[in-house]
């Protein structure tokens, strides 16, 4: 069914005049939310948002039901902007407005002078256009250089000259972002970065509906849902939310990082670009995903990392993408059909870790690379424990204690690496704890065996030297009496302790 294209057709359509005249955007959001709650369709309110079902989402639902403007307070990488953009799913699919209007005026109750005169002149022949939910969402990143003209508007002398209007006329106004978001949602990210006088203009609109442009009062009772985001540390670091504006924000909602590793894994799996077209089939073992996620969790608790800045959930997403890319590069160079990431590839992803960590003084002294390497080692240790707790690996450790050593190269193809690792007694058999059998591809078996060695290193059962790349072993223990007969060849030295 085609949509009405004139005011007359609109009056005779299903778009109720009384409903459009009295129903404001906050009522629209509330009505559509109520319909979903009645259908127990909570998951579709904020699609793709993981880990907030019992904490953040109920508070946002309450704010919408209360018709509040609200602010999301949280550290970087906590899906604040994504939540605000998801509000459009609660808007009607089509919203009629007077065609050509800069502020998307209500056909039944126009507020700008141009539209009032148009309706008076054309009557039922006034043309109608429609807004989709995406068109009704306007977002602005707050920066210190934002002006009243950017948000509210300014006098346009060219319009005045061309139309022969007085400067005080509404026809000379060039509207800013806020009036152009009329009958929609206006979001401001990093609100404390706005200058105080700009925030004053915001709360004046929220409270009174007044817009003053260059000293000329223009009464615009805008129909807007105002939502904001802010980092709580920015209240003192870069700016603050002025008290009158804060007082007019209905709800202040705190976001947080994933509470459980499973939530973090779900987010990273959803957001990371790992399902990609490639000549080599990509397989990412679960233990690699768990290690990458644990790096972020451990960094948030590490005293060398600035907790006030936070560790963004973008860190594990970027790291996993880098890890997969390194495995893909190795497989392509070796001509392999399967690419499987190894723990060595996580160390190769250091650039995607160090750039996302804000360090305390102690961390700065130690260095970003060293802090990141230590986080990876601890993450490997935790994941190794979850898979191998209680598993007897003494046979592997004994091989190194008897003087064995092995140097692994991240560029080594899977077949050659699997052959090297198979020389270590008992190692390949232990990969069964990860669900692998002898018929699995070499790439998977090599990755699993290397993970076991890294786990033993993380628990200080063996050691490795990283001076010349990834090396396994550096044991300088002399054999005990009777351990090696004269003339008997010594096993190859391994750089593990």
At 359-388, the pLDDT tens digits run 999 999 999 999 999 999 999 999 999 999
Mean pLDDT of 421-434: 91
Mean pLDDT of 428-438: 90
- pLDDT at position 400 is 81
Mean pLDDT of 5-18: 87
Mean pLDDT of 162-172: 70
Mean pLDDT of 28-45: 85
Pair of tokens at residue 116: 């009032």
- pLDDT at position 470 is 32
The CA distance from 26 to 101, in Å, is 21
The pLDDT-based confidence of 341 (bands split at 50, 70, 90) is: very high
The pLDDT-based confidence of 487 (bands split at 50, 70, 90) is: very low
Least confident of 58-72, 81-95, 426-440: 426-440
The CA distance from 109 to 21, in Å, is 6
Q: Residues 112-151: pLDDT tens digits?
A: 888 888 999 999 999 999 999 999 999 999 888 888 888 8
> Beta strands 184-189 and 137-141: pairing type?
parallel
Among 175, 182, 181, smallest CA distance to 152 is for 175
Least confident of 49-53, 79-83, 132-136, 173-177: 173-177
The CA distance from 258 to 180, in Å, is 36
Mean pLDDT of 191-197: 87
Cβ-proximal residues to 146 (8 Å cutoff; 6+ apart), any chain: 140, 194, 195, 198
Of 1-10, 238-247, 359-368, the range with the highest mean pLDDT is: 359-368
Please give the residue that has the higher pLDDT: either 44 or 487. Answer: 44
Mean predicted lDDT score pLDDT of the chain: 86
Cβ-proximal residues to 382 (8 Å cutoff; 6+ apart), any chain: 294, 298
Q: How much is the pTM?
A: 0.85
Please compute, for residue 180, the number of CA atoms within 13 A of its CA located in the half-sphere on the CB side.
17
CB 208 within 8 A of CB 232: no
- pLDDT at position 43 is 64
> What does the DSSP 8-state code read for residue 412?
S
142-149 — which CB contacts under 8 Å span 24+ positions?
142/188, 142/189, 142/190, 142/191, 142/192, 142/193, 142/194, 143/190, 143/193, 144/193, 144/194, 144/195, 144/239, 146/194, 146/195, 146/198, 147/198, 148/176, 148/197, 148/198, 148/201, 148/213, 149/174, 149/176
Of 21-25, 408-412, 485-489, the range with the highest mean pLDDT is: 21-25
- pLDDT at position 235 is 54
Mean pLDDT of 486-495: 42
pLDDT at position 483 over 60: no
- pLDDT at position 151 is 86
Among 472, 475, 425, smallest CA distance to 450 is for 472
Mean pLDDT of 180-193: 92
pLDDT at position 54 over 60: yes
**Percent with pLDDT over 70 in the chain:** 88
The pLDDT-based confidence of 272 (bands split at 50, 70, 90) is: very high
The pLDDT-based confidence of 478 (bands split at 50, 70, 90) is: very low
- pLDDT at position 175 is 84
pLDDT at position 241 over 70: yes
The CA distance from 323 to 127, in Å, is 55
- pLDDT at position 469 is 31
- CATH number for 261-388 (one of 1.10.357.10, 1.10.8.80, 3.30.70.2860, 3.40.80.10): it is 1.10.8.80
- pLDDT at position 403 is 77
Q: Residues 297-328: pLDDT tens digits?
A: 999 999 999 988 889 999 999 999 999 999 99
Domain ranges of the chain: 7-254, 261-388, 394-496
CB 360 within 8 A of CB 425: no
Query: E strands, 142-239, where?
Result: 153-155, 173-175, 184-189, 210-213, 216-219, 224-230
CB 449 within 8 A of CB 375: no
- pLDDT at position 482 is 40
* Second CATH level (architecture) for the domain 7-254: 3-Layer(aba) Sandwich (3.40)
Mean pLDDT of 35-47: 79
């Amino acid at each position: 069914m085609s949509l009405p294209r004139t005011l007359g057709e609109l009056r005779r359509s299903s778009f109720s005049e009384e409903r459009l005249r009295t129903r404001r955007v906050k009522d629209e959001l509330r009505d559509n939310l109520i319909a979903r709650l009645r259908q127990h369709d909570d998951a579709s309110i904020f699609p793709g948002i993981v880990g907030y079902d019992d904490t953040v989402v109920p508070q946002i639902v309450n704010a919408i039901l209360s018709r509040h403007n609200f602010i999301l307070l949280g550290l970087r990488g906590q899906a604040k902007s994504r939540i605000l953009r998801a509000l459009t799913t609660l808007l009607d699919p089509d919203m009629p407005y007077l065609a050509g209007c800069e502020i998307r005026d209500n056909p039944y109750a126009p507020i700008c002078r141009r539209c009032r005169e148009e309706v008076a002149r054309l009557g039922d022949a006034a043309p109608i256009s429609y807004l989709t939910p995406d068109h009704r969402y306007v977002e602005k990143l707050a920066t210190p250089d934002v002006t009243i003209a950017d948000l509210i508007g300014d006098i346009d002398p060219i319009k005045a000259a061309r139309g022969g209007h007085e400067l005080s006329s509404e026809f000379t106004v060039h509207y800013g972002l806020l009036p152009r978001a009329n009958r929609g949602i206006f979001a401001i990210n990093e609100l404390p970065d706005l200058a105080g006088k700009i925030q004053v203009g915001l709360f004046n609109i929220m409270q009174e509906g007044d817009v003053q442009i260059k000293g000329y009062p223009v009464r615009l009772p805008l129909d807007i849902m105002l939502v904001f985001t802010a980092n709580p540390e920015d209240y003192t670091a870069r700016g603050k939310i002025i008290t009158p504006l804060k007082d007019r924000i209905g709800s202040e909602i705190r976001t947080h990082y994933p509470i459980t590793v499973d939530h973090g894994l779900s987010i990273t799996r959803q957001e990371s670009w790992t399902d990609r077209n490639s000549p080599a089939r990509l397989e990412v073992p679960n233990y690699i995903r768990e290690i990458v996620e644990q790096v972020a969790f451990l960094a948030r608790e590490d005293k060398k990392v600035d907790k006030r800045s936070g560790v963004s959930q973008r860190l594990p997403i970027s790291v996993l993408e880098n890890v997969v890319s390194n495995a893909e590069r190795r497989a392509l160079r070796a001509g392999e059909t399967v690419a499987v990431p190894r723990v060595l590839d996580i160390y190769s992803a250091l650039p995607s870790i160090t750039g996302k960590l804000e360090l305390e003084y102690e961390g700065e002294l130690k260095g970003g690379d060293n802090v990141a390497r230590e986080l990876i080692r601890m993450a490997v240790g935790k994941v190794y424990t979850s898979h191998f707790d209680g598993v007897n690996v003494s046979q592997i450790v004994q091989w190194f204690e008897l003087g064995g050593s092995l140097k692994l190269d991240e560029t080594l193809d899977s077949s050659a690496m699997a052959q090297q690792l198979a020389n270590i007694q008992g190692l390949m058999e232990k990969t069964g704890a990860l669900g692998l059998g002898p018929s699995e591809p070499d790439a998977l078996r090599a990755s699993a065996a290397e993970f076991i060695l890294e786990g033993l290193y993380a628990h200080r059962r063996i050691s490795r030297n990283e001076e010349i790349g990834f090396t396994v072993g550096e044991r300088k223990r002399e054999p005990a009496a009777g351990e090696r007969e004269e003339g008997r060849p010594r096993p190859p030295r391994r750089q593990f302790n």
